[in-house]
Each structure stands twice: as structure tokens, then as C-alpha cells.
Amino acid sequence: MIKTEIFSSEYFDAESSLSCGQTFRFERQEDGYFVCSGNKACLLRTSDGETVLTAEESDLAYFNRYFDTERDYSRIYRTAVQCGGVLSRAAEYGKGIRIFNQQPFETLVCFLLSQNNHIPRIRATVHKLCEALGEKRTFFGREYYSFPTPQAMAMFGEDFYRAVGAGYRARYLRETAKAVASGRALDGTCDLTAFFGVGRKVADCVSLFAFHRTDRFPVDTWLEKVYREDFGGTEKDRNKIASCFEAQFGDFSGYFQQYLFYYKRSLAKGKQEFVTKNPM
């Protein structure tokens, strides 16, 4: 039985929440977005200031948790606006962004792939990975593939992961899949950097996107730019830059980081698109 649920898009906007880089498992369709998580799928549509979630009735609770729908984001937004400067502009631009609650293994694999990589290619590789090792399913008349289990991934070697476009990260995927499949803990308290290929940035992304550790502020090339250009920072070590932001923003770190990432990247992608979304 398929059901729908409606939210105001003021603090739950499909476009920005999906394209702000926290997930790679979605596709734009004629009338909205097809979103996958684990072995489930749902639809997100926007119309008249509303975000419409469509899912199997038995998956509705799952996707409510996934999209973090219970949390009050107006408070987060207002706090960012009060900070002024670039943060205020970024919050305005990404007002409808929510931080999802994604599955740990899936998030770990996706962000292993993300390093030194382009978002479109990350999405393509994740898709090929699911196609090859996931289970075929259908939702709303559309085929999709579940995210592979650690056990399924542990059966393949580097050559396979190179073939789906992982490049040099193939070794990271294989080692990590093997570790998790053989019982290594992957939870909110484990040291994520103990996984081969996981440094602070990837660890922070997994902490934030899978365990909702919003006290983490992942620093990548874009946030390094923000730090330099908009905050006038001079430190070069990304670890220190992250610690600096985290000390400043506390439990708002993760939310503010997403506002800033989405804003900075959108500016770089082209003024045209930006201007139409942000009439002065």
C-alpha cells in the first residue's frame, strides 16, 4: 500500500537537501526525485511550497527518520542567520536543507569514494556498485537496486571496484568491506579513522550523515575555500580548520557546514542558476 505525507518545503526542500552532497543515491525524474536508502526507495515531489513524500506505508516511519522530519530546523536556520556574514547568506540560500539519517555502511562506502572525486562521478560509481551487487527491486513502477551488504562487497577484489570506477579507492572499499563483514564495529562510538582510507574528513562525514553527529564540521576543498575567502583564515591544516569551526559552532557545526558547502559550491557552478534561485 503506497501512501503520501506532506511537509512544508520551507524547512524541507527536496532539491537543496538532495544536492547539498550528503547523499548520492537519488535521481531527478520528470516530476520530482527518486530517492534510495539501503534497500528502500521513495519519491519526493515539490509543489506549491510543499514537499510530498511517497513511500510504501510500511516504510513511512523509516523515511521520516531518514529525512529527519521531526526536528525543528527553524531554530537552526535562525541561529545561522544571527551569525551574519556569509553564514547568514548561506542559510538563506539553503534554508530548506535537512541533514538525513543514513545507513552507516552505505555512508562509509559512499564517502570513501568521495575523496578527491567529483560528485557526478561519485553518484555514477555508487549506482554501478548497487547495480552490480545489490538486489533488484521496484517501487512505483521503477526499478532500482538496494545498497550491497558488507558480505556481498567482501566477496570482490580491487579489480572489481576499479571496474565500476572507484579508481585508486578500490583498495579502500575492499579492505573496509572485509573489515565490516568480518565483524568490525561500525557505530557511533567507534574510531572511524581505523578503517583503511578513512581520514578525518570522511570520518566526519560518516559521523554527521549516519550518526547525526552535528558537532562535526567536515572540511573539504570547498570549506577550505570558505575558511580562507569568507572567514579570512590563514591556517592550512584541514584538521585545525575543522577544529576551529567546531569550537565556534558547537552542535550547529554540521548544519552550518552544509549551508556553507551548498552555498559555496552553487556560487562556483554558475551565477545564472544562482541568481534565479536567489532574487535580490
Partner DNA sequence: CACCAGGTCCGTT
Partner DNA sequence: AACGGACATGGT
Binding site for DNA (CB under 7 A): 20-22, 114-122, 124, 162, 165, 167-168, 171, 193, 196-203, 205, 218-223, 236-238, 257-258, 261, 265
Q: Output 139 or 222, the one with its CB closest to DNA.
A: 222
Nearest to 213 by CA among 233, 238, 188: 188
12, 34, 57, 102 from 63: Cα distances, Å: 13, 13, 10, 10
Residue 215 CB-half CA count within 13 A: 4
Q: Output 54 or 115, the one with its CB closest to DNA.
A: 115
Shortest CB 71 distance to DNA, Å: 18
Q: Output 148 or 165, the one with its CB closest to DNA.
A: 165
Residue 166 burial by CB count (10 A; 0-12/13-18/19+): exposed, middle or buried? buried
Shortest CB 116 distance to DNA, Å: 4
Rounded distance, CA 64 to CA 6, Å? 11
Q: How many other CB atoms are there within 10 angstroms of residue 34's CB atom?
A: 18
Shortest CB 67 distance to DNA, Å: 15
Q: Output 84 or 120, the one with its CB closest to DNA.
A: 120
Q: Output 65 or 269, the one with its CB closest to DNA.
A: 269
128 is catalytic: no
Shortest CB 197 distance to DNA, Å: 5
Identify the active-site residue in 3, 95, 178, 201. 201
Rounded distance, CA 270 to CA 212, Å? 31
Shortest CB 257 distance to DNA, Å: 5
Shortest CB 79 distance to DNA, Å: 19
Rounded distance, CA 215 to CA 255, Å? 9
Long-range contacts from 239-245, C-beta under 8 angstroms, 24+ separation: 239/200, 242/200, 242/201, 242/204, 242/216, 242/217, 242/218, 245/217, 245/219
Phi, psi of 136 (to 5 degrees): -75, 135
Residues acting as catalytic residues: 201
